[in-house]
Structure 1
Amino acid sequence: MLPSTRSLLARRHEATPKKERKRKKKTGEFSNGWRGGVAVVRERGVDSSCWFAPGALRRMFELPAPILSRHQLKRLEEHRYSSSGRSLLEPVMQRYWEWLVRRMPPWIAPNLITIVGLATNIFTTLVLVYYCPTATEQAPLWAYLLCAVGLFVYQSLDAIDGKQARRTNSSSPLGELFDHGCDSLSTVFVVLGISIAVQLGSHPDWMFFCCFSGMFMFYCAHWQTYVSGTLRFGIIDVTEVQIFIILLYLLAAVGGSALWQSPIPVINIQMKIIPALCTFIAVVFSCTNYFRVIFTGGVGKNGSTIAGTSVLSPVLHIGSVIVLAMMIYKKSTVQLFQKHPCLYILAFGFVSAKITNKLVVAHMTKSEMHLHDAAFLGPGLLFLDQYFNSFIDEYLVLWISLILSLFDLVRYCVSVCNEIASHLHICVFKIKPQSTAEAVE
């Protein structure tokens, strides 16, 4: 019979000299303990029981080498959130959000609220992707209603995670990074979902523009934050855009495909083009404000970023994504984007989410962004396949690109969250008790 975990720990305790135990306790070195009938592994003073994944699974989704240096972690610890401005509907929505957060149990971690909202938004959008893979089909009416509810749930939970953190005294730089990271991924699914809902796949150029414009604007919002150190909100911002999209989902549920295909009198364009034109106006308006800050609002030396780098340096990352996406779209001999727009947007969307997360990390750690990144491996494979006359089926390479991009995004996010949580001595999805019992010696 194998000895129990408790007996093993007891034997190890007896075999360890008292001075050695005191030294390990003082330095926070790797040690084992028992708490509440559950074996606990402590490394650098952090209780790893805050992680849900088994050891083997965690190693698979965690990079072997640290991403953040000791100096970056130190600057992250000193980071303070800064924002300015208020959108048009925010004062009205604040009443609802304040009411909602009071209904949240105090033991629910803010990051858990955020991830539940993100998962809800992703699931409801994937339902639309299942029914409308080319963004031209008619989905069941309940699918559009489900997406409207899913986006509203995401908006609500995303708005109260910070309030829950302050309410439970668990605010940390990890919470800010986790929130923005989930937003970067949610943006991909939101722009894809609404493009499907209005059946924009019949106009592939417009669909490409709308989806990549959404990703680009979200990136620019954090680009100007990297330059100025402050996240700025406009009169028309994310809250208003999300409510507008919810209304479009409801219209799709009521009117069906006939609504978006019906022509508008006088101007003689289909209804589905109206959301695309609204996107174009939003891009012009938002980018004007963003680039005004980028070119004139640098708080570093000689007007540089907060990291002391060029204010134009982040353009290389998002520019590479958009240029590669456009080249592959236009060069494809099998009409890859036209036939598989959802897979295409997701494959490049995961890359966009990854580099946006890197930008947020660079801002919070006051460090430089490096261009070389494994995220570009997937798009690079698509580009090389086309360069060599598509000797491998482009559809197969697209799937490989999507899987690689998603895996790289997940590995990066898991690794960064692990490193920050370990450094700050906190858990990602649990609220650490104010006073914890020490491990048995």
Structure 2
Amino acid sequence: MPILAYKEQRILSPQQLRKLSEHKYSCFSASLLDPLLQPWWNWLVSQTPLWLAPNLITIVGLILNIVTTLILICYSPNGVEPPPRWTCFLCALGLFVYQSLDSIDGKQARRTNTSSPLGELFDHGCDSISTIFVALSACISCQLGHYPNWLFFQCFCAIALFYCAHWQTYVSGTMRFGRIDVTEAQFSIIAIHLVSAVLGPEIWLTKMPIVGVSWNYTILVFITFGYTLNIINFLKMFIEGGSGKNGSSVAGTSVLSPSIPLTLVVLPALMIAQKSPENIFTEHASVFILAFGMVAAKITNKLVIAHMTKAEMEYLDWSLLGPALLFLNQYFNCIVPEIWLLWFTLAWGTQDLLRYCAQVCLEICQHLRIDLFRIPYGPKVLNTSSVGSQSNVGADKNGGTSHRKSKSKAH
């Protein structure tokens, strides 16, 4: 009975696990900064102990990134109060460490001969969470809380574009990075944090000498320009068609099918924020973005798994319970305080995301007979050849990071 109960709770079917074992990572990159950063990443991975598991490197960077952002949020939860300069510096440091560690996890997998589809999935899963915190920290650092609509637009554009990057991968089978993409966005945000740390966050509210608008509007223009470039690249997917039969996705489904889960997250978020009688987004911006961000991270992970297993994506998900309750509560004239349901949405979405990711990792580890955070053999048998050698699974856009980032954000 215990075995039967476990099988009933499994997320991945035997066919999906078989497809996952056959998955090969495909990537194309035209990034401007990646070639310039290769020497730094190669030196960093050469200093990394051979016993350190690649996934452990990724999760350490993610935790540091989350912690530094949460410190910033504590001092400026709505992006209106100027946070202390040292919190902005911490965010810059946390993002730089995360970016560096996330760029060497695949190189470490290659030097230790531990590349696997699980590594790619784990990397994208961490990126889906990091996207939320990086986008939010950038908006707080440049004081976008004074413009709630812009704050909403920037954060949800970052979340949606990260999802669209994997949507494009689900359709074409290849992850594509433009000239201005993830790495460029990350270092731009690091620069924003450093400016706030040196000159103070208030600098973004000062008027430009000639134009007469505040400096953070300049940031909005550049970020929106970057978003536009990525949207154009994304839309090319519909012209080129998918890699499946008759231009379908890798799973043989419609190229438009992934739009449904994304719409079920972004559209309710917009309606709830605009129609809230308690101004729930304006008054609790960070909680709102984190709550819906966790839901978006869950559906993004499901899309990544659908791509890697060449399976049809499920549209409805239990993570949507929180947004549904918020929507229904507004429909019935807020019989429950909205802030209660918002905190419930954050708690429910977070636990649901963590439970889902843990279960999927467990099933894949058991199927591939590997460990998630441990290299299961001694250093004597490790492959210590050049980090630039060819990998059988997970060769990334840098020729090294077995599962490098996905698009997005302000991440």
Contact 1:63 1:411 in 2 (8 A): no
3-state secondary structure, aligned to 1:80: coil
1:244 aligns with 2:188: yes
Q: CA-to-partner distance for each residue in 1:86-107, whole Å, 9 max, x for gaps?
A: 3101111010000000111011
Residue number in structure 1 paired with 2:48:
104
Tell me by how many angstroms 1:63 deviates: 10
Residue number in structure 2 paired with 1:290:
234
Contact 2:261 2:316 in 1 (8 A): no
Contact 1:128 1:143 in 2 (8 A): yes
Among 133, 142, 147, the alignment partner of 2:77 is: 133
| Aligned ranges 1:154-303 → 2 under 5 Å | 154-303=98-247
Among 396, 404, 415, the alignment partner of 2:359 is: 415
Contact 2:85 2:201 in 1 (8 A): no
Residue number in structure 2 paired with 1:318:
262
| Aligned ranges 1:9-20 → 2 under 5 Å | none
Contact 1:195 1:207 in 2 (8 A): yes
Residue number in structure 2 paired with 1:114:
58
Residue number in structure 2 paired with 1:92:
36
1:339 aligns with 2:280: no
Tell me by how many angstroms 1:301 deviates: 0.5
Q: Distance in 2 between matches of 1:316 and 1:295?
A: 20
Among 393, 397, 404, the alignment partner of 2:337 is: 393
Q: CA-to-partner distance for each residue in 1:383-410, whole Å, 9 max, x for gaps?
A: 1111111111111111011100101100
Contact 1:228 1:294 in 2 (8 A): no
3-state secondary structure, aligned to 1:308: coil
1:372 aligns with 2:316: yes
Tell me by how many angstroms 1:293 deviates: 1.8
Distance 1:375 1:63, change over 3 A: farther
Distance 1:421 1:138, change over 3 A: same
Contact 1:63 1:415 in 2 (8 A): no
Q: Distance in 2 between matches of 1:63 and 1:395?
A: 38
Q: Distance in 1 between matches of 2:207 and 2:76?
A: 22
Larger RCO: 1 or 2 (CA < 8 Å, sep 6+): 2
Tell me by how many angstroms 1:279 deviates: 2.1
* Bigger Cα Rg: 1
3-state secondary structure, aligned to 1:272: helix
| Aligned ranges 1:345-364 → 2 under 5 Å | 345-364=289-308
Tell me by how many angstroms 1:335 deviates: 0.5
Q: Distance in 1 between matches of 2:7 and 2:73?
A: 31
Q: Which residue identity does 1:386 align to in structure 2? A: Q
Residue number in structure 1 paired with 2:398:
none
Distance 1:154 1:63, change over 3 A: farther
| Further displaced range: 201-210 or 255-264 | 255-264
Residue number in structure 1 paired with 2:24:
80
Q: Distance in 2 between matches of 1:194 and 1:432?
A: 39
3-state secondary structure, aligned to 1:306: coil
Q: Distance in 2 between matches of 1:306 and 1:237?
A: 24
| Further displaced range: 220-229 or 249-258 | 249-258
Contact 1:82 1:230 in 2 (8 A): yes
| Further displaced range: 316-325 or 263-272 | 263-272
Detail structure 1 runs of 4+ shifted over 4 Å in the superposition.
Answer: none
Tell me by how many angstroms 1:295 deviates: 3.8
Tell me by how many angstroms 1:266 deviates: 3.2
Distance 1:102 1:74, change over 3 A: same
- Is there any run of 5+ residues in structure 1 with no aligned partner, and where? 1-29, 31-42, 44-58, 436-441
| Further displaced range: 92-101 or 286-295 | 286-295
Q: CA-to-partner distance for each residue in 1:91-146, whole Å, 9 max, x for gaps?
A: 11010000000111011100000000000000000001100011111111111110
| Further displaced range: 250-259 or 211-220 | 250-259
Tell me by how many angstroms 1:256 deviates: 1.3
- TM-score norm. by structure 1 comes to 0.83
- TM-score norm. by structure 2 comes to 0.89
Contact 1:227 1:294 in 2 (8 A): no
Identity %: 53
3-state secondary structure, aligned to 1:333: coil
Q: Which residue identity does 1:395 align to in structure 2? A: I
Contact 1:295 1:311 in 2 (8 A): no
The size of the alignment, in residue pairs, is 378
Tell me by how many angstroms 1:169 deviates: 0.2
Q: Distance in 1 between matches of 2:211 and 2:105?
A: 44
Q: CA-to-partner distance for each residue in 1:148-194, whole Å, 9 max, x for gaps?
A: 00000000000000000000000000000000000010000000000
3-state secondary structure, aligned to 1:84: strand
Q: Distance in 1 between matches of 2:8 and 2:140?
A: 38
Q: Distance in 2 between matches of 1:415 and 1:295?
A: 37
Tell me by how many angstroms 1:267 deviates: 2.5
Q: Distance in 2 between matches of 1:93 and 1:297?
A: 33
Q: Distance in 2 between matches of 1:294 and 1:183?
A: 25
Q: Distance in 2 between matches of 1:278 and 1:92?
A: 22
Q: Which residue identity does 2:192 align to in structure 1? A: L
Q: CA-to-partner distance for each residue in 1:346-381, whole Å, 9 max, x for gaps?
A: 000001111110110000000000111001011111
Among 252, 267, 270, the alignment partner of 1:308 is: 252
